[in-house]
Amino acid sequence: MKHLWRLLPFTFILLLAGCGKQNLSALDPQGPVSEIQFSLIMLSLYIMIFVIVVVFVIYVLVLIRFRDRPEHTHIPKQVHGNKALEVIWTTIPIVLLLILAVPNVMQTFTLADTEPTDADMVVRVHAHQFWWEFEYPDYDIVAGQEMYIPTNTKIILELEASDVIHSFWVPALAGKQDNVPGIMNPMWIEAPNEGVYMGKCTELCGPAHWQMDFKVIAVDPDTFETWAANMVEGPQDVADTGNELAVEGRAVFEQSCISCHAVAGEGGNPQGGPDLTNFGERIVAAGYLEFNDDNIEAFIRDPQRYKPGNAMQAFPNMSQDEMDALIEYLHTLKVLE
Amino acid sequence: MAQHGMDPSAPLTGEPSKKTKRKLARELRTQIISFILMIFLTSLAFVSIASDAIPASFALPFILLLAVIQVILQLYVFMHLNERGNGWPNAMIWSGVLIAIPTVAALMLLLGVVKW
Amino acid sequence: MSYAKAQSKSTLWDWLTTVDHKKIGIMYLVAGAFFFALGGLEAILMRIQLMFPEFTFLPAQTFNELLTMHGTTMIFLAAMPLLFGLMNYIIPLQIGARDVAFPFLNSLGFWLFLFGGILLNISWFVGGAPDAGWTAYVPLSSESPGTGIDYYVLGLQVSGAGTLIGGINFLVTIINMRAPGMSMMRMPLFTWSSFVASILILFAFPALTIGLLLLMLERVFDATYFNVGMGGNVIIWQHLFWIFGHPEVYILILPAFGIFSEVIPTFAKKRLFGYSAMVFATLIIGFLGFMVWAHHMFTVGMGPVANSIFAVATMAIAVPTGIKIFNWLLTLWGGRIRFTTANLFALAFIPSFVMGGVTGVMLATSAANYQFHDTYFVVAHFHYVIIGGVVLGLFAGAYYWWPRIFGYKLDEKLGKIFFWLFLIGFHLTFFVQHFLGLIGMPRRVASYLDGQGLNAMNLISTIGAFLMAVAFIIFVVSIFTSRNNKVTEEDPWGDGRTLEWTIPTPTPEYNFAQTPLVRDVDALWYEKYEGDGKMKAAEPLGDIHMPNGSILPIVISLGLFIASFGFIYHHAGFTWLAVVGLAITFGAMFVRSIKEDHGYHIPVDEITNNKGGE
Amino acid sequence: MADHTIDHNTLPPNPEKATLEGRNKFMGFWFFLGGETVLFASLFGTYLGLRGGTVDGPGPSELFHLPFVFLMTMILLTSSLTSVFAIISMKRGNYKGLLAWMTVTVLLGVAFLGLEIYEFVEYVDHGLGFTTSAFGSAFYTLVGTHGAHVAFGIAWITTLIIRYRKSGLTLTNAPKFYTAVLYWHFIDVVWVFIFSIVYLMGIGG
Ligand code: HEA
Ligand code: HEA
Ligand code: CUA
Ligand SMILES: [Cu+2]
């Protein structure tokens, strides 16, 4: 019952969107922040529907009653105006706006409550053209593209950018804040439910702006602790698994890739690419491509074709054997099992 | 709009009326007095900064106040904004100031470095 | 005196040198329509790209260029000049003046706009158009490679100077050139709202001028205002842009409001309801328009106090706008409404604009704006207010004043087909975009992934855009096919209320043989029903003084056009071109200032001949 | 809107506003100054926003030299007074006086501009270039825009003096001289804020 009211106007859209799957819709809030925002959206929507209905009713009435007809010959009375009416249509909108403005101001402050306490977790979000980096200062972890968080924990995000302005948006969890070079913007999110939440960059940041997607993955706090510990440890050493191909792949990786991509704290550089420690567990590759070998290979051979303007070096001439080994190795980069 | 038969590039001859002359003499006096006042205000501003005796917390608002007074003198005495018939120029200048204030304030304060 | 001299020139030369507000108005309309078609074409290309998910009709870079040029072209080169065209032609007629206050500057303003617009579009052919959005946020714009952004900066700087000049010109014209008896509170509402829009231009454009100056110095001369590593700050640009940018949207809508306030009373045969409330509301909107700009920046991190203040201030604008909406409805109430094409556009405006306006208030809800911002919800909002307000206003104004300006009526049948197709296409295109935004589609995306529930609505949106394109082509066709509907009467609608309907068609070059005497708001209506139907003259018939034409406005603009290339290609060693260009500009200004030009007189018999009808 | 009747024996009290063209010019120019207010506000705001962005370059307190700025201020202030004298001469029908005072105004303007250029050269020597830091860029842009206004004013008034050196006062040139003087005063108005906000506040804290 409690949830029925909010479903009414958008039921058909929700069906269209199939949003349960994607966790992409601001109309299907999955956490306290997006709930607050959703309730404001609905409050404002109801006020606006009221306004629209009032205007439409007068409008339709006028158009029907006062259309010119051939039998009309009178000159309409040239009315100057009406004080009482002016007062009415000044006051009523003011009242309607107050109904919206007061909760809005309160919630604006609620959402700005980003002073971290001991119970909260801090994640620094660095945005790059065109990928995301998540740094967990309390754990000494850096993760690329996919942000793991524990459920039911208030997460304070500290947003930063290294090149141009980006904007961090996970519609189902929270509205956006901008990642601005030279400035740190705090915001907070919380996810009561486990799940994968789609995130998008919403500030035009170059040709591959539309592909600058990311994921927020909420897991139960225990899983999160495991994940965090293993991110520091790194994935299991491929030499221990007896996977020859992967060992070969690691060699390729260490020769060509490690200068930009760190794995378990080794390699990488500040101007480099995403941390690949848990790449094998990615839901998508490069932020938006379906996670399969063909896509990964194609991306490595020609990153520009996929995300124009991105900073990764291309490897068009890598031999097929090396490529197969490399991809095998990339698949072993897992920390959760 | 013919100028009543007057050629616009013919030199204007003749003397100003007596009334105008008196007005101009008065005006000249006001102008000189306000110039002296401006010199004084300017010097005061410089001195209040140059001398170490006056604390900055006082000197800064003080010099801004002096600047405002001086500008009002410029606008109303030198530029005659106080004269009758200058309603529109007044309106536009003050509208400009009205918009200038939030502009400066925002650029000083709302740059994201300090959150309000 | 020297009348013969003014006649002996060729037609082309006559148009190039004209300082007649009517011809300048027509040139604004033609150039504006051209840029509207261009901006529309850019929109259509974007919509084709967005028709299907992961469609590869256009590369992402091209898409970004199209979206930037679409926004920039539509706002600066289409909507504003089209409004300027109507303002130029109509304001002097509505206030009973023979010309604007500064005919020379008026022409200069037009040529600056045109050269600026051409400059901007040259970027397409020399290495790519600007690609950072019409808002050109730094550092994306300041560090964008290539010359696209340089063209943006200089193109807008040049055309912006033209706009500022135009604004001052309208202000002084309206203040100083009104016919006797026309007090401020007897001015037609179109003149009033253009007046307030001009005030907004006067105070908004300088902020843009500085923003563009800084961006140019940053890109061309390595300044560091926006360079974080050098102590710079990137938010400064956003403030400067929006201190200009928000008033800009009211610069667009207020004259459109003015048009509706002329069209609706005319076709309802009823005086505008609540004239003084309308004037007052316009002024309030103008004032508040300057106090709300940061509602575009809720997510940049100004903090909750700043966000709350700007949110509440923004919401306040709904009140005066609502006053206007209800006054229009009450004007219709009790009238005899004729559904001419002009009036159809005006009537369609009311519900369309209200829908766009209320989504504006939703956007102003700062805490909810974090969800809306930079999504298609915003795109839907502003196309509803811009197309549902400004564009419908332009079409209403075009149909209404067409006979006055061009001497013939546009075909009503084609007009109605155009109207319905355009209106349906418009709602089809943009209504669904509200939902696209809410279910997760950011704006300025070159494509979107399949399987996110965005496909159907994007397709609908594109179909709507095609309907608008078909409608627009019908309009263009009707311009040519209607040319036989010649109009000769002074007041072709029969219900004209204001001074522009008191003079012969086609409009004589001196507008009014005798300056009229104004005795009430709706001067003509008053004479029709309280007098003998003819305006009283405020002066005896006499020679009429007219300004001479001049080629200098083109020369001044051309100089800046040339100089711009010098700045754009500064790094390639073309700085000398800037010197040459500026020398041409300042040289022409110098010539203008030392050459006195007192115009010429049209003798009385010439005027009486014309009055008898040619 | 009837024009003031012009009687050949008495000078109109406000020759600059005696014709419609003059009144238009007068009004339009004031409005332009209203716009300039916002233009300079944008520059002042930018400067104040970036004032602290000195990075490794020198900051205000290391550069600014008060006595020098005081001298510049006095010169500009005096030129404002001499332009007032010019207008009073004009209204008295003393055309020679008008030209003479305008010439003095221009000379003072040139002196001011010379000092400003000298000042900039000094600062560059002390390590503050246009591209040294955001502070440097913002400083030169603000003060330089003012300087550009001074230069334009000098060129404008000089043109007027030369063009009209022999014409005597006319209904056409009176508004031109008048608006040029308004412009000159406005330059001084802006300078008041520059010396207060840039220089005095730069030294004072
Ligand atoms: C003609 C242009 C125009 C007009 C008139 C408006 C009008 C309004 N706009 Fe809009 N706006 C734009 C053009 C325009 N806008 C553009 C181009 C952008 C995007 C720029 C970009 O980023 O590229 C934008 C973006 C924009 C934003 C930023 C969104 C974002 O990026 O996050 C906001 C936020 O507050 C906003 C608010 C408003 C409001 C409150 C009004 C109000 O003026 C509306 C007032 C009208 C009504 C409310 C309807 C009538 C009133 C009644 C019937 C009375 C009763 C009503 C109530 C009680 C609600 N607009
Ligand atoms: C006055 C302003 C104005 C107008 C009228 C329009 C009109 C239209 N706009 Fe646009 N729009 C903006 C201002 C405007 N827009 C702005 C400011 C932006 C933001 C840009 C940015 O983000 O930086 C924007 C962004 C924008 C987007 C979002 C892009 C993105 O974020 O990725 C879209 C997408 O659908 C869009 C679509 C349209 C469409 C379909 C029309 C249609 O109404 C167009 C209708 C016109 C036509 C269809 C004419 C067609 C002409 C022909 C077919 C040629 C025929 C020629 C002859 C007959 C001679 N616009
Ligand atoms: Cu990053 Cu868009
Ligand atoms: Cu706005």
Asked if residue A9 has pLDDT above 80, the reply is no
Best of B3, B52, B90, B110 to disrupt the D interface by mutation (most D CBs within 10 Å)? B3
Chain B: residue whose CA lies nearest to D91 = B16
Q: Is the CB of C378 under 6 A from ligand 1?
A: yes
Neighbouring-strand partners of residue A129: none
Q: Is the CB of C114 under 6 A from ligand 1?
A: no
Q: Is the CB of A208 under 6 A from ligand 3?
A: no
Q: Are residues B73 and B25 in the same domain?
A: yes
Q: How confident is the model at residue C513 (pLDDT cuts 50, 70, 90)?
A: confident
The phi-psi region of residue C96 (left if phi > 0; otherwise alpha if psi is between -120 and 50; otherwise beta) is: left
What does the pLDDT average to over C173-201?
A: 94
Residues C162, C114: Cα–Cα separation, whole Å = 9
The residue extents of the domains of chain C are: 4-550+597-612
Q: Do B66 and D3 touch (CB under 8 A)?
A: no
Q: Does D141 touch chain C (CB under 8 A)?
A: yes
* Nearest CA distance, D125 vs chain C (angstrom): 18
The alpha carbon of C383 and the centre of ligand 1 are apart by a number of angstroms equal to 10
Instruction: Yes or no: say if C264 and C188 are a contact pair by the CB < 8 Å rule.
Output: no
**Range scoring the smallest mean pLDDT among A114-118, C53-57, C163-167:** A114-118
Domains of chain D in sequence order: 13-204 (1.20.120.80)
pLDDT digits (tens, 9 = 90+) for A253-289: 998 899 999 988 888 888 889 999 999 989 999 988 9
Residues A275, A134: Cα–Cα separation, whole Å = 9
Residues A188, A107: Cα–Cα separation, whole Å = 13
Query: Is B65 domain-assigned?
Result: yes
Query: Is B104 domain-assigned?
Result: yes
Quote the radius of gyration of chain C (alpha carbons, Å). Answer: 24
Residue identifier of the C-alpha nearest atom 22 of ligand 2? C133
Mean of all residue pLDDT scores within chain C: 92
Residue identifier of the C-alpha nearest atom 12 of ligand 1? C382
Asked if residue A6 has pLDDT above 60, the reply is no
Could you say which residues of chain D have pLDDT below 70?
A: 1-9, 205
Residue identifier of the C-alpha nearest atom 1 of ligand 3? A166
* Nearest CA distance, B65 vs chain C (angstrom): 24
Residue-range definition of the domain harbouring residue B108: 86-116
Annotate chain A with three-state secondary structure: CCCHHHHHHHHHHHHHHCHHHHCCCCCCCCCHHHHHHHHHHHHHHHHHHHHHHHHHHHHHHHHHHCECCCCCCCCCCCCCCCHHHHHHHHHHHHHHHHHHHHHHHHHHHHHCCCCCCCCCEEEEEEEECCEEEEEECCCCEEEECEEEEECCCCEEEEEEECCCCEEEEECCCEEEEEECECCCEEEEECCCCCEEEEEEECCCCCHHHHHCEEEEEEECHHHHHHHHHHHHHCCCCHHHHCCHHHHHHHHHHHHHCCCCCCECCECCCCCCCCCCCCHHHCCEECCCEECCHHHHHHHHHCHHHHCCCCCCCCCCCCCHHHHHHHHHHHHHCCCCC
Q: Is the CB of C72 under 6 A from ligand 2?
A: no
pLDDT digits (tens, 9 = 90+) for C473-485: 999 999 999 999 9
Prediction pTM value:
0.94
pLDDT value of position C612: 46
Q: Are residues B79 and B101 in the same domain?
A: no
Residues A305, A287: Cα–Cα separation, whole Å = 14
Ligand nearest the Cα atom of residue C472? 2
Asked if residue A1 has pLDDT above 50, the reply is no
Q: Are residues B69 and B95 in the same domain?
A: no
pLDDT digits (tens, 9 = 90+) for A156-166: 999 999 999 99
ipTM value > 0.90:
yes
Q: Is the CB of A203 under 6 A from ligand 3?
A: yes
Query: Is B93 domain-assigned?
Result: yes
Place of tokens 């419609």: D20
pLDDT digits (tens, 9 = 90+) for C72-82: 999 999 999 99
Q: Are residues B74 and B96 in the same domain?
A: no
Higher per-residue pLDDT: C545 or D2: C545
pLDDT value of position D205: 63
Q: Are residues B76 and B93 in the same domain?
A: no
pLDDT value of position C610: 66
pLDDT digits (tens, 9 = 90+) for C237-260: 999 999 999 999 999 999 999 999
Mean of all residue pLDDT scores within chain A: 88
The alpha carbon of B60 and the centre of ligand 2 are apart by a number of angstroms equal to 50
Q: Do C207 and B103 touch (CB under 8 A)?
A: yes
Query: Is B113 domain-assigned?
Result: yes
Domains of chain A in sequence order: 32-69+79-111 (no CATH), 121-233 (2.60.40.420), 238-331 (2.60.40.420)
User: What residues of chain C lie within 8 A of the CB of B112, using their CB?
Assistant: 233, 235, 300-302
User: What residues of chain A lie within 8 A of the CB of B112, using their CB?
Assistant: 180, 183, 185
Q: Do D159 and C206 touch (CB under 8 A)?
A: no
The alpha carbon of C315 and the centre of ligand 1 are apart by a number of angstroms equal to 9
Length of chain B, in residues:
116
What does the pLDDT average to over A193-205?
A: 93
Q: Are residues B47 and B91 in the same domain?
A: no
Query: Is B109 domain-assigned?
Result: yes
Closest atom of ligand 3 to A166 CA is: 1
The alpha carbon of C315 and the centre of ligand 2 are apart by a number of angstroms equal to 26
pLDDT value of position C265: 94
Asked if residue A13 has pLDDT above 50, the reply is no
What spatial distance separates the first Cα and last Cα of chain A, rounded to whole Å?
Answer: 40
Q: How confident is the model at residue C371 (pLDDT cuts 50, 70, 90)?
A: very high
Q: Which residues, 6+ apart, have CB-to-CB distance to A212 below 8 Å? A: A127, A130, A131, A132, A166, A200, A201, A205, A287
Q: Do C545 and B116 touch (CB under 8 A)?
A: no
Distances (CA, A) of A334 to A280, D17, D41: 5, 84, 57
Dihedral sign for Cα A291, A294, A299, A304, please.
negative
Asked if residue C124 has pLDDT above 60, the reply is yes
pLDDT value of position A233: 86
Instruction: Yes or no: say if C580 and C566 are a contact pair by the CB < 8 Å rule.
Output: yes
Q: Do D169 and B67 touch (CB under 8 A)?
A: no
Q: Are residues B101 and B56 in the same domain?
A: no
* Residue A83 burial class via C-beta count within 10 angstroms: exposed 0-12, middle 13-18, buried 19 and up: exposed
Interface of C with D (CB under 8 A): 101-102, 164, 168-169, 171-172, 175-178, 180, 202-207, 209-211, 213-214, 217-218, 221-225, 227, 229-233, 236, 239-240, 243, 590, 593-594, 596, 598
Nearest to C247 by CA among C313, C210, C202, C309: C202
Residues C464, C47: Cα–Cα separation, whole Å = 10
pLDDT digits (tens, 9 = 90+) for D154-191: 999 999 999 888 888 888 888 889 999 999 999 999 99
Q: Are residues B90 and B113 in the same domain?
A: yes
* D-proximal residues of B, 48-77, CB under 8 Å: 49-50, 56, 59-60, 63-64, 66-67, 70-71, 74-75
* Nearest CA distance, C310 vs chain A (angstrom): 10
Q: Do D6 and B108 touch (CB under 8 A)?
A: no
Best of C224, C243, C539 to disrupt the D interface by mutation (most D CBs within 10 Å)? C224
* Nearest CA distance, B115 vs chain A (angstrom): 9
Q: Are residues B26 and B65 in the same domain?
A: yes
The alpha carbon of C357 and the centre of ligand 1 are apart by a number of angstroms equal to 5
Q: Is the CB of A166 under 6 A from ligand 3?
A: yes
Query: Is B57 domain-assigned?
Result: yes
Could you say which residues of chain B have pLDDT below 70?
A: 1-6
Higher per-residue pLDDT: B5 or C34: C34
The alpha carbon of A204 and the centre of ligand 3 are apart by a number of angstroms equal to 5
Tally the domains of chain B.
2
Q: Are residues B44 and B32 in the same domain?
A: yes
Asked if residue A240 has pLDDT above 70, the reply is yes
Interface of A with B (CB under 8 A): 112, 180, 183, 185-186
Q: Are residues B37 and B53 in the same domain?
A: yes
The alpha carbon of B22 and the centre of ligand 4 are apart by a number of angstroms equal to 53
Q: Which residues, 6+ apart, have CB-to-CB distance to A257 below 8 Å? A: A267, A276, A326
pLDDT value of position C543: 87
Query: Is B4 domain-assigned?
Result: no
* Nearest CA distance, A6 vs chain C (angstrom): 14
- Fold assignment, C4-550+597-612: Cytochrome C Oxidase; Chain A (1.20.210)
Q: Which residues, 6+ apart, have CB-to-CB distance to A174 below 8 Å? A: A31, A33, A34, A37, A187, A188, A189, C370
**Range scoring the smallest mean pLDDT among C132-136, C279-283, C362-366, C519-523:** C519-523
Q: Is the CB of A201 under 6 A from ligand 3?
A: yes
Q: Are residues B79 and B106 in the same domain?
A: no
Residues C341, C418: Cα–Cα separation, whole Å = 9
Query: Is B116 domain-assigned?
Result: yes
